[in-house]
């Protein structure tokens, strides 16, 4: 015959779990209703207590974290690419998710992308760095997080010493690819060189399975190639001016003068053009987007 005193904890759990999910469902409905009523301007007032949610999860932290990670993805997806979109709830959602499940690696990695992107996300690389640092503290043997941290420091903050340190520390972890040590050396040596940037984005494209991340990497790679082309054309234009006393009006003039072989085109096939200042630029009809200059990218985190 069973002892009622020993079965009580089981019955408590069996009763508590459905109650928990009913409460969560009610909470989510209330959150959605409040968000719609209050609008974007006051979204930041909602969902600010990950510690409280952890206390009421009754040990189902990972399950609850999955729920909030799904909500973070939905929240981001609804706003991604929308002009002047605000992402005020993104950090709280990621904060809750990673507090509930500190080992949910995907939340750190993709959460950092969502936070850092200026055109497709929140434009807060500072918060992305904070999130990844948290992930590394909880998962010190996950080399991919070090690679993500190195990228954030390198691309968005232009903090090359910290970027090199992150890549180097990641390279020491068992199973880390040799590329991390190469990246540490190249970033420390060359900082923002085109070749270094291209290597990083190519690695992102090859290693990611998310189509949005891969498309973004291809976009950046195309922009980097165009930026490098323009830099080279500007150098040739200066030589042209020294010979002929004026800047070239077209790339055809550079070709006809013998300074250039053929007519260079951008990654989507449009010839480059020259402005009155003698600087090369993309054809207005080109879909290529050159990455923001260092000064602009730095200003994002302010």
Contact 106, 142 (CB under 8 A): no
Separation CA 189–CA 169 (nearest Å) = 17
Give the global pTM. Answer: 0.64
Contact 50, 100 (CB under 8 A): yes
pLDDT of the chain, 302 residues: tens digit per residue: 444 444 444 444 344 444 455 555 555 555 555 445 444 444 443 445 666 676 666 677 888 889 899 999 999 999 987 888 999 999 999 999 999 999 999 999 999 999 999 888 999 999 999 999 999 999 999 999 999 999 999 999 999 999 999 999 999 999 999 889 888 888 887 776 778 888 888 888 887 788 888 888 899 899 989 999 999 999 999 999 999 999 999 999 999 999 999 999 999 999 999 998 889 999 999 999 887 654 344 433 33
Please state, as a whole number, how many other Cβ atoms lie within 10 Å of the Cβ of residue 299: 11
Domain coordinates in residue numbering, the chain: 217-299
Q: What is the pLDDT of residue 120?
A: 84
Separation CA 137–CA 22 (nearest Å) = 34
Q: What is the pLDDT of residue 28?
A: 57
Token pair recorded at residue 78: 């609804």
Token pair recorded at residue 49: 């207590």
Q: 166: closest CA among 192, 197, 133?
A: 133
Q: What is the pLDDT of residue 25?
A: 53
Separation CA 191–CA 188 (nearest Å) = 6
Contact 266, 283 (CB under 8 A): yes
Q: What is the pLDDT of residue 61?
A: 83
Q: What is the pLDDT of residue 299?
A: 38
Q: 285: closest CA among 295, 272, 294?
A: 272
Q: What is the pLDDT of residue 7?
A: 44
Separation CA 10–CA 282 (nearest Å) = 68
Separation CA 123–CA 241 (nearest Å) = 40
Catalogue the long-range contacts made by 238-241 (C-beta closer than 8 Å, 24 or more residues apart).
238/278, 241/278
Contact 116, 68 (CB under 8 A): no
Q: 152: closest CA among 133, 129, 183, 171?
A: 129
Contact 97, 121 (CB under 8 A): no
Separation CA 157–CA 17 (nearest Å) = 45
């Amino acid at each position: 015959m069973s002892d009622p005193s020993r079965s009580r904890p089981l019955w408590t759990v069996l009763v508590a779990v459905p109650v928990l999910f009913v409460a969560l469902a009610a909470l989510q409905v209330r959150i959605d209703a409040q968000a719609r009523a209050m609008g974007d301007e006051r979204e930041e007032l909602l969902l600010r207590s990950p510690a409280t949610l952890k206390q009421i999860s009754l040990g189902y932290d990972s399950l609850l974290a999955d729920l909030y990670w799904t909500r973070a993805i939905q929240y981001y997806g609804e706003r991604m690419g929308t002009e002047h979109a605000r992402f005020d709830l993104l950090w709280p959602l990621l904060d809750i998710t990673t507090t509930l499940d500190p080992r949910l690696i995907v939340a750190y990695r993709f959460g950092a992308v969502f936070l850092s992107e200026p055109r497709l996300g929140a434009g807060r690389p500072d918060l992305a760095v904070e999130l990844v640092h948290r992930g590394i503290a909880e998962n010190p043997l996950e080399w991919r997080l070090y690679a993500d941290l190195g990228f954030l420091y390198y691309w968005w903050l232009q903090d090359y010493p910290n970027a090199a340190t992150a890549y180097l520390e990641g390279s020491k972890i068992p199973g880390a690819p040799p590329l991390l040590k190469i990246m540490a050396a190249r970033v420390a040596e060359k900082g923002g060189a085109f070749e270094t940037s291209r290597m990083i984005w190519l690695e992102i494209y090859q290693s990611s399975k998310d189509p949005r991340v891969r498309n973004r990497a291809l976009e950046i790679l195309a922009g980097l190639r165009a930026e490098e082309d323009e830099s080279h054309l500007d150098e040739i234009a200066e030589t042209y001016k020294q010979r002929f006393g004026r800047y070239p009006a077209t790339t055809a003039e550079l070709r006809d003068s013998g300074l250039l072989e053929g007519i260079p085109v951008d990654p989507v096939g449009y010839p480059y053009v020259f402005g009155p200042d003698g600087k090369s630029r993309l054809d207005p009809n080109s879909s290529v987007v050159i990455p923001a200059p260092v000064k602009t990218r730095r200003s994002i985190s302010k």
